[in-house]
Amino acid sequence: MTSTLDHNPSPTGSSNAPKRLPLPALLALATAGFITILTEALPAGLLPQISADLSVPQAFAGQLVTIYAVGSLLAAIPLTLATQRVQRRPLLLAAIIGFVLANTLTAISGSYVLTMVARFVAGISAGLLWALLAGYAARMVPEPMKGRAIAIAMVGTPLALSLGIPAGTFIGHFIGWRASFGLMSILSLILVVWVLLTVPNFPGHAADKRYRLGAVFRIAGVRPVLFVTLAFVLAHNILYTYIAPFLAAVRMDEKTDLILLLFGLASLGGIWIVGALIDRHLRALTLASIVLFGLAALAFGFCGEIPIALYGAVAGWGLSFGGAATLFQTALAKTSVDAADIAQSMLVTVWNIAIAGGGIVGGILLETIGLSAFAPVVFGLLVLPLMAVGHARQHGFPVTRYL
């Protein structure tokens, strides 16, 4: 299968390939990712305010996060398939404008039902945007720079998790939850202008180049990458979703904010390391991330009551998770070539399934066996992607070096 990059004039052509990364354009994509994550998670830190204002229980207010994830899960693959022929920049702008509309409606709505509809629309926009980001970043640069380009485009995720969400929650307590979502709309409008000024446009697929979902799924290497993503993110979310009761069990619940901050900062370190090395050592970095997470899980299980060991485990866990999205998206983009957007929509779906599955599996473990089961289950899950990467030597996670 040949890539459309060989036939369409673009910055990735061999004769005019950029010598440096197009940072303004890549940072615009990173900002789009930042807005996506912040829009998704912001209600979690402002539940009491939202609950009181909309006159619903906090459990109902918490479903503002759930309905967002459902929108992403349902929309990513169908929308990406339906828009294959659409030019990429208008499609990216449509997703960002979706956030403008959804966050504005959330900010002014006095109805719980209408707010849920707005959140569902935001989730749909997120599903489309996540499917675009990695492939878009990869198309801006030649092959030896694709990994670094994707790493920069994905830096918004750990920034949102480590800094954006705590800052958004802090600001929301002072200016109100509605004003917080209004600020998100303003940021999205600024991003629209930024994209128009810096992000190049690319054509969609020609009519005779449209891909079917099954054909993309059967591309060599796609299934191993999706499986590794599913198992790794499932293991992460079992632990992350129930970190509060875990910390309470070892009398560290008062340090939850500090521990989550440590996790976020370590994640930033992880994405920096991955961004610097990914184009030469994608396979080795993926194996190292899985092993490091596994060691952190063992530390949680055997040394979780020792504060210094717990902090070390959290740092190792954050370091391993920070670059994970970049590793998986880069592997999938390189494997699927010009079908990258459709493959990425599968990854978005798998990622959201893993998030939901982490909550379900973790809840079952908590209610049946208890917290003692978390570490061995997480470790056992991580053995599976380690084996999958080990076998994906030819396709998915090959050894690739550029001089």
Mean pLDDT of the chain: 86
Mean pLDDT of 305-333: 91
Determine the 3-state secondary structure of 398 from DSSP: coil
pLDDT of 358: 84
The least confident of 282-291, 301-310, 312-321 is: 301-310
Degrees to nearest 5, angle at CA 259 with 256 and 265: 140
Write out the two tokens for 379. Answer: 């470790």
- Local confidence band at 6 (pLDDT 50, 70, 90 cut-offs): very low
d(CA 172, CA 179): 7
Residues 51, 57: contact at Cβ < 8 Å? yes
Domain ranges of the chain: 21-209, 214-391
Residues 154, 33: contact at Cβ < 8 Å? yes
Topology of domain 21-209 in CATH is Growth Hormone; Chain: A; (1.20.1250)
214-391 has the same fold as 21-209: yes
pLDDT(367) > 80: yes
- Local confidence band at 105 (pLDDT 50, 70, 90 cut-offs): very high
- Local confidence band at 400 (pLDDT 50, 70, 90 cut-offs): low
pLDDT of 19: 67
Residues 146, 21: contact at Cβ < 8 Å? no
Write out the two tokens for 98. Answer: 């979706």
Of the CATH numbers 3.40.50.720, 3.40.50.920, 2.40.340.10, 1.20.1250.20, which one belongs to the domain with range 214-391? 1.20.1250.20
